[in-house]
Structure 1
Amino acid sequence: MLQVNFIRENFEKAVLGLKKRNFTEAEAVLSQLVQLDDTRKNIQLERDQLQAESNSISKTIGKLMQSGQKEEAEKVKSRTSEIKAQVKILEDQYTQQENDLTQLLYTIPNIPHESVPAGFGADENEVVLTHGDIPELSAEFKSPHWELIKKYDIIDFELGVKIAGAGFPVYKGKGARLQRGLVNFFLDEATKAGYMEVQPPILVNEESGYGTGQLPDKEGQMYFCTEDGLYLIPTAEVPITNLYRNEILQADQLPVKNVGFTPCFRREAGSWGAHVRGLNRLHQFDKVEIVHISRPDKSYEALEQMSGYVQGLLQKLELPYRVLRLCGGDMGFTSALTYDMEVFSAAQERWLEVSSVSNFETYQTTRLKLRFKDEDKKTVLAHTLNGSALALPRIVASILENNQQEGGIKMPAVLVPYLGFEWIS
């Protein structure tokens, strides 16, 4: 979340940045925030003054008792009781103001980086680059993946409905091996790039959800285990980043680079229509996630490196892609700058998002209390970043659709050692 001191010192900048997100009530909300902070500080000042008075009275009582003036000491003690009652009231008021301030901060999204374009939605995202040639499929071999998976019997949605419901596919035979091969390929590539692999829990507590900003923003989109108070993760970003909650790192430990593979769970899988058909939008899917903890002055360099790394994976998979810089109206709640990578699906004739790489600056670390000691031994908030590297469903969809030909579906050469086969036929 944002820091109150930053808002105070950069009020106009914060308002303008939030308006870029179409947060139209920015000025009123930030003014309310400053007012709550003023009230909190005034309560704190009054409480501190009373406590100082109480300390002074205690010393006076001690001196009176030492000089044998017990009657005078008893008279002064009555004021001490009054002060204690007043301090208790002020402490309750302070706690309430603190809670109100925190709850309001939770409702305010991150301030976009200056390079983020204004806009209301996906149509106004900025295309940064496009790579690769769009495959030209003949009419005979231009089936969408939801037809291909039935033809080759590699993914079964009907079995998934039988077991769990819509949006929970069952991968079979070469479909299951393709999933496993992609996961191992992505993990191996990340390890080569210097990321340490971790295998985190796929259930997290409420504090973890608040730590990375999924709560309260996406509460309705997350599966919740009522009896245990735990949430199924929407992405490995949540447990991996929370590994460092309430930690103070040393400067020489940065950057921290982790990678993890997990299933991901999302209740809101979208509406009806071809754009969410088949593997395009699921309630459960597999994803390899990279998480980066950086010094503030290095985080945007790290973001470009992460973007380049994900692009490298797409190039090795021989998939045409483009990179978008998301506009203010299409960015995630916690992000300061996001690049989306989209792969072109030749059969669906449209771009499919397969990765988002984001810099959150200090938005998450303020909540997480994730800091590091710099060379001057000052405690400083770190920056966090994360990215999909990669989410499997649309990668699988694109591989199937773009590589269909007379002999079946040819696998990218880089995957063959992981799969043990060259063709799905």
Structure 2
Amino acid sequence: MIEALARRTAGLILVTLGAALPVVAYTRLHAWDAELAGRTDRYPTGLVEMLLGGIGIWLIIGTGLWWHRRRTTMWPIWARWAAFPGLFLAVAICLAVAGKRNEPIALAVGAGLIAVCWALSEAVGLVLTRPVTDGLIASRLEIPFRVRGLKARLCVRHDRLVLDSLVSRRKRSRDVIAVPWQALRSIELVDVEQETVCRVLVFSGLPQASAREFDVTRGPALHIVGTARELLVPVTNEVGRAVLRAVEVRSADVEVDEDELAEDEWRRKSGVRRTNALTHAQRSAGVHYRTDYRPYRLIPVAGFLLMPLYALSNMTLALVTGSKKRQEQFYVVDGVVNPWTVAVLAAASIGFLYGLYRWVVKSFLSFMEGQNYIEAYPEPPARAKTGTVPGSGKRKKKR
């Protein structure tokens, strides 16, 4: 618990540093540009707007980090998004200085900022997942491992074993293969004596799952047997032993579900996952339901439902700051607000927030529950298949 807290704290510090560095650089670059141009405005205008925008961005980043508080592989991505706004402004002014002021060194400054922010985002992932200690294994943080000879990645999460990045490292969530602890029958480190191909099934949106294949070269590999899956994942001996140790600890108190899979249950849960995933035109064209699809159409719905709260917040901010422009925009007359306007906005905010929870939050949570299900069970049990696994040599360790 203490180690997990320390790792998260260190990661959050690096995320904050990566976000703050380009903003500070932007203010210094703006002052440099003003000095070269002979202007007196050494500080950027609209600092209040920038501050409010930064608060809004950090609300989004903070929500994302909380949602992925156990998914350590997502923290570097959020770190890059946190750095992007300031980095965009800093690089833009670097290009302006290099072009208009004939200062090519500004290009080097911009490139250096990009490199430093990228390095900080990579450092976030390292402090969260390396080294693999007993404290990290005992925590609920995701632990990623490299797969030998493949671009795929094997991740030990708190409740399942996941193989992702089968298609692309940029599309890691596409065609994800998962084995929950309650469906894990056995896992062992084996020696593959001849090259072979492992065939796995991925959800297609239809009762017939799609098939993916990857090469398994000679050497050590993890043989994983689940209720609806059988995998052979090439690894190094070091990685194999670390994965076995993590799986043993995290699945120790989980009972294997011996009940038969119900086809009705599969159709119900996979149906939730398919909700609004494809348009009628896409279905007619035969496009499959991608496993990396997310219900992004909920975002404009959430934005609409937050409008009364947004208006009420800006009305309050206009009173606090005394900004004439903001007061004109949000119906504040001479520092006075019509109480009926406040009452209507407050009532609408409460009602719309309930709608946000009912139609957006619950729908998204239900969708992600279905997502976790179809990653583990890609097709109905009546059609369940397992991949072809080659004969193995001497067994080294068994669950």
TM-score where L is the length of structure 2:
0.30
More strand by share: 1
Q: Which has the larger radius of gyration?
A: 1
